[in-house]
Amino acid sequence: MIGLKGTLNVIDNSGAIVAECIRVLSGARFARAGDEIVCVVKRARPINPNLIGTQAATQKVKKGDVRHALVVRTKKEMGRPDGRYIRFDDNACILLNQKKEPLGTRILGVVAAELRMKNWMKAVSLAPRVV
């Protein structure tokens, strides 16, 4: 349940570390796993101006950037169609670009299977583990 001012860990390699939700795009009050949100990057990895090539390409965001993001893990338990409830230990998201594609090239950590149910196939394919 991510709402306004909700903080999420960013678990891709886009360079952001912590993001804060400013809008839930579906119009609902809260976002669950598999929902898109607009967020502000609160903390990001320092961008090294000396890096060139592929390393520089992965550091795409800096602090204060406003981006779209996809919620991938929530601490609030979510119900599955088979009656199970599942919850994670933290709130996590991955950043998206304007075309709803993941901004980063890798995802680190577990991701909820709700992404597959809501058709975020690119994110699911990047994820090392889907639970």
Q: Provide the binding-site residues for other proteins, judged by CB under 8 A.
A: 73, 77, 82-90, 109-110, 113, 129-131
User: Minimum distance between the CB of residue 77 and other proteins, rounded to whole angstroms?
Assistant: 6
Of 84 and 99, CB closest to other proteins: 84
Q: How far from 77 is each of 80, 90, 103, CA to CA, in Å?
A: 10, 11, 27
User: Minimum distance between the CB of residue 131 and other proteins, rounded to whole angstroms?
Assistant: 5
Of 77 and 101, CB closest to other proteins: 77
Tell me the two tokens of residue 47.
Answer: 């961008």
User: Minimum distance between the CB of residue 42 and other proteins, rounded to whole angstroms?
Assistant: 19
**∠ CA 114-42-94, rounded to 5°:** 25
For residue 44, count CB atoms less than 10 angstroms from its CB and return exposed for 0-12, middle for 13-18, buried for 19 or more.
buried
Of 27 and 85, CB closest to other proteins: 85
